[in-house]
Chains A and B, each alone.
Chain A
Amino acid sequence: MTPFTTLTGVAAPMPLVNIDTDMIIPKQFLKTIARTGLGKNLFDEMRYNLDGTEIADFVLNQPAYRNAELIIAGDNFGCGSSREHAPWALLDFGIRCVIATSFADIFYNNCFKNGILPIVMPQEVVDVLMADAKRGENARQTVDLVAQTVTTSDGQTFPFEVDAHRKHCLLNGLDDIGLTLEKVSAIDSFETKNAVSRPWA
């Protein structure tokens, strides 16, 4: 996993609530056995007409946002299915950070596993970031994971919360499985105990 420390980039404003995983990556693109290559179909149905041509209005099709690295959105971003294809598609497109007032649980989790930082901010802050993002490609925002701050293009800085374990893994690009296997003796002894207390399980 690519570590995440700081990021300065264009933020795409998506002032919608309940942006669900079917919008982020429709199911016809889940039939892949790879993790890469999904970026071209990110937000497919909002981004392309049926004949494959681009829908000019859609934010990521506008010249200012074609290289966006952040998304600013409304409540409950990533609701819906558990598909990790959603963060894979975001990442493949180049999005490394999503800032919203709230996230769906599984999506939030999946982001961290893929080097994407999801940030929860209160509505007032999202409003400021959204307004800043709407100013286009010169309005580059900065996310500093070490300091846990987001800074707008005109220098307003807002702090955010992140779980210490997740922050550590993201900063260092650590793989969870490796970390867990260091605790293999705890798993062994749990299984031994379990074989007695809940043998049917």
Chain B
Amino acid sequence: MTARTLYDKIWDDHLVDRADDGTCLLYIDRHLVHEVTSPQAFEGLRMTNRKVRAPEKTIAVPDHNVPTTLDRANAATMTEDSRIQVAALDKNAKDFGIHYYPVSDVRQGIVHIVGPEQGWTLPGMTVVCGDSHTATHGAFGSLAHGIGTSEVEHVLATQTLFQRKAKNMKVEITGSLRPGVTAKDITLSVIGETGTAGGTGYVIEYCGQAIRELSMEGRMTVCNMAIEGGARAGVIAPDDKTYAYCMGRPHAPKGAAWEAAVAYWKTLFSDEGAHWDKIVTLKGEDIAPVVTWGTSPEDVLPITGIVPNPADFTGGKVEAVQRSLDYMGLTPGQKLSDIAIDTVFIGSCTNGRIEDLRAAAAILKGKKKKDGLRAMVVPGSGLVRAQAEEEGLAQIFIDAGFEWRLAGCSMCLAMNPDQLAPGERCAATSNRNFEGRQGRGGRTHLLSPAMAAAAALTGRLTDVREMM
């Protein structure tokens, strides 16, 4: 047997059919569904009289549109079109008999947080969702990627997907991270290194000591942003931490089935001598807490840096950087730590898990946010929220002057009422700093939860290491 990568192994175990031209039909183990990218797909099924082939492998939860304010049970908190979209999901879940966590369920939350939390996501699986951050689930050593609505319909109808095999890329983070540096800094630094198109055509496997040392939450943060690096998916080989996380979750196997599953999961690693089409190595010690300064996730620098000059770039990037700086209202040479912010957003499928809230609360404990600044924490799921309340984190946030919200995507993409005003500047733990992402004209700086908390205290982008 030739040496294979983890991706090769998962691929091989899900291959249903391979056409002569190399087009493959891949079996899908888990299909996650949310309200924004699915209505047209269910409508397509109805129009063609097709059913959901494997409803027991299909899980739906509304997250993108739902208000995160405490009064959201009141229908008036939603716009008419949002209400229609959520109602369509309610109806589709019922009509097609798929698993569903409605807004009123404590388990409701961002689809990529709910999947792992409920034990739907397990090592060695193929997981898809009509959302690009499906890459998150790769943290379990599953092959997980985003798909479009036509493909959502295809998976609903056939439980398979047409795919061409991607190339293998290894991203190794050697050594250990320094204090104040987190999974978010790893993933942003990798994108800073490779560019947002650096991963195009690849599946990335993240490995190395610094990755091994991350918790499952941290690994999900790293894989979550594989898509920002252009990769189809990011994977991390499962290990004891992975099994420990999965064990006992509602939909994880139990008893003898658990033993059999673990025995299989232990075969999921890249063999010695496996072929890599591209290798990127970063030293864990060299990674600093970073922030983005522009409107692409590759526009990333250590917080100790300065706003760059467009003239220092080449090719199409010169105009892009100039455009970014105009949009962001920044001047070359300005210190990043001098940039004043108006809003702090802690949440999203990148950083809305319990560990993220703990990291932010550790910085905020006993302190108050800067006067006049808007700050909100949006837990990634109802269960994360409940746990944070139990651990006393919620109170720390409230005492620090943060709004303590209900679960949803919220200001990550601002489809619900949580939006930036034109020119408003936000320190955000989410994953995209595109123009208008958090509201038209809004300016986004991506950073880790601890860095976001530090920024809330000073009212400017701040090196969290000064507060530790």
Contacts and interface: CB of A to CB of B under 8 A. Distances in A.
Interface of A: 15-18, 20, 22-23, 26-28, 30-35, 45, 50, 74-76, 79-84, 87, 102-106, 109-110, 113-114, 163-165, 176-177, 180-181, 183-184, 186-187, 190-191, 194, 198-201
Closest 3 CB pairs of A and B: A113-B150, A200-B253, A110-B148
Nearest to A26: B436
Contacts of B296: 18, 20
Nearest to B88: A33
Contacts of B88: 33
9 contacts: A22-B435, A23-B436, A31-B81, A33-B40, A35-B40, A87-B148, A109-B148, A181-B157, A198-B124
A201 B164 contact: no
Contacts of B122: 200-201
Given A16-B319, A75-B316, A165 B158 contact: no
A111 B85 CA distance: 24
Contacts of B39: 33
Given A105-B201, A105-B230, A181 B19 contact: no
A84 B200 contact: no
Given A27-B413, A31-B36, A79-B230, 7 more contacts: A26-B440, A31-B65, A80-B434, A104-B197, A106-B148, A110-B150, A180-B25
B257 interface: yes
B268 to A, nearest CB: 12
A105 B203 CA distance: 11
Interface string B186-202: 00000000001100110
B154 A177 contact: yes
Contacts of A28: 415
A58 to B, nearest CB: 13
Contacts of B17: 183, 186
User: How many B residues touch the partner, as a band?
Assistant: 35 or more
B440 A22 contact: no
Contact of A22 (B13, B197, B232, B437): B437
B21 A163 contact: yes
A186 B19 CA distance: 12
B124 A82 contact: no
Given A181-B157, A183-B25, A45 B196 contact: no
Contact of A181 (B146, B158, B162): B158
Contact of A199 (B81, B257, B316): B257
Contacts of A83: 36-37, 148
B402 interface: no
A197 to B, nearest CB: 8
A87 B197 CA distance: 19
B362 interface: no
B161 to A, nearest CB: 9
A32 B323 CA distance: 30
Interface stretch (B125-133, B284-292, B384-392, B457-465): B125-133
B160 interface: yes
A119 B162 CA distance: 20
Given A16-B316, A17-B316, A22-B435, A163 B253 contact: no
Interface string B309-330: 0000001110110010000000
B160 A201 contact: no
Contact of B43 (A33, A84, A164): A33
A163 B164 contact: yes
B157 A80 contact: no
A181 B85 CA distance: 29
Given A30-B36, A165-B21, A200 B415 contact: no
A31 B89 CA distance: 12
Contacts of A17: 315-317, 320
Contact of B232 (A80, A102, A105): A105
A194 B79 CA distance: 44
A50 B158 CA distance: 44
Residue of A31, A50, A87 with most partner-chain B CB within 10 A: A31
A140 to B, nearest CB: 25
B50 A177 contact: yes
A180 B64 CA distance: 30
Contacts of B29: 201
Contacts of B149: 35, 84, 110
A187 B160 CA distance: 8
Contacts of B13: 198
B422 interface: yes
Interface in B73-96: 79, 81-82, 84-85, 88
A176 B264 CA distance: 32
Contact of A45 (B85, B157, B252, B435): B435
A165 B19 contact: yes
A23 B130 contact: no
B230 A32 contact: no
Interface string B125-167: 1000011101000000000011111110110011110101000
Given A84-B150, A106-B147, A198-B124, A50 B422 contact: yes
Contacts of A45: 435-436, 440
A86 to B, nearest CB: 9
Contacts of B53: 187
A181 to B, nearest CB: 7
Contacts of B422: 50
B16 interface: yes
**Max chain A C-beta neighbours (<10 A), residue from B154, B232, B422:** B154
Contacts of A50: 422, 440
A183 B16 CA distance: 9
A84 B43 CA distance: 15
B126 to A, nearest CB: 9
Contacts of A102: 197, 200
Contacts of B319: 15-16
A27 B37 CA distance: 11
A106 B154 contact: no
